Amino acid sequence: MIWTRLYDPGRTPAHWTQMVHERQCVVFVCDARTRAPRDADGRSFCAADGTETGPCAALCDDAADAERFACDVVSRHPGLCCEIYDYEGKSRPPLKTIYDPGVRHKYVGLAHARRQSLAGAALVCTGTTLIVVDISRGLAWIWGYVLGLKCLLLGGTFLILGLLEWREHRNERLG
């Protein structure tokens, strides 16, 4: 396993995708909640003086080595998750996403889909109410309309993502 920067102008080749061979896999470590890139110890890629060192990833010899590394990282730091990609890079979905089993339900699965759908539905209802109230008053309080539109867009996004995840979970269970 080699820990390497994703882009290094002083290296040949400069970009990580040109370094990965057909059997190799790349493990990206990120915060499970925000998906912000992290190192294997859960730290940000910013130096103590505030300068950014640039995101890194682990280059592994094969899928089994990548999965062992990812399981080791999430077992030591449950707030992290690892995405494993093959030589084709991030142009496709990850081969596997590894979470700590104790916190996986917070980020994927039926419970997560239900929470996301309910939050989206609540935001859609709130946005619709704000818009209707503001329109009924002749748009005198324009902030109701503006905030209502924002709630409607955000809520619609959450609702759709939650329902899609719910459908995906149902299809996995049936098929």
If asked whether residues 115 and 148 sit together in one domain, one would say yes
What is the spatial distance between Cα 126 and Cα 147, in angstroms, rounded to a whole number? 9
Q: Where are the alpha helices (DSSP H) in the chain?
A: 63-76, 110-136, 142-174
Q: Residue 41 contacts by C-beta under 8 Å, 6 or more apart in sequence?
A: 76, 77
What is the spatial distance between Cα 97 and Cα 25, in angstroms, rounded to a whole number? 13
Q: Residue 14 contacts by C-beta under 8 Å, 6 or more apart in sequence?
A: 7, 8
Q: What mean pLDDT do residues 38-48 have?
A: 78
Q: Give me the chain's average pLDDT, please.
A: 88
The total number of residues shown for the chain amounts to 175
Tracing tokens 């730290």 back to the chain, one arrives at 43
Final residue in a domain of this structure, among 103, 119, 149: 103
pLDDT at 50: 57
Lowest mean pLDDT across 20-29, 44-53, 72-81, 89-98: 44-53
From residue 14, alpha-carbon distances to 11, 82, 86 in Å are 5, 23, 18
SS3 31: strand
Final residue in a domain of this structure, among 83, 103, 123: 103
If asked whether residues 51 and 120 sit together in one domain, one would say no
Q: Domain residues for 24?
A: 2-103
If asked whether residues 35 and 88 sit together in one domain, one would say yes
If asked whether residues 92 and 120 sit together in one domain, one would say no
From residue 64, alpha-carbon distances to 22, 68, 95 in Å are 14, 6, 12
Instruction: Report which secondary-structure segment, H or E, holds 27.
Output: strand 25-31
Lowest mean pLDDT across 11-20, 31-40, 133-142: 11-20
If asked whether residues 115 and 76 sit together in one domain, one would say no
Better pLDDT: 47 or 117: 117
Q: How confident is the model at residue 173 (pLDDT cuts 50, 70, 90)?
A: confident
If asked whether residues 63 and 11 sit together in one domain, one would say yes
If asked whether residues 86 and 115 sit together in one domain, one would say no
If asked whether residues 88 and 118 sit together in one domain, one would say no
Final residue in a domain of this structure, among 103, 121, 143: 103
Measured in whole angstroms, the distance separating CA 15 from the mean position of its chain's CA atoms is 22
Q: 12 near 49, Cβ under 8 Å?
A: no
**What's the total number of domains in the chain?**
2
Residue type, 29: V
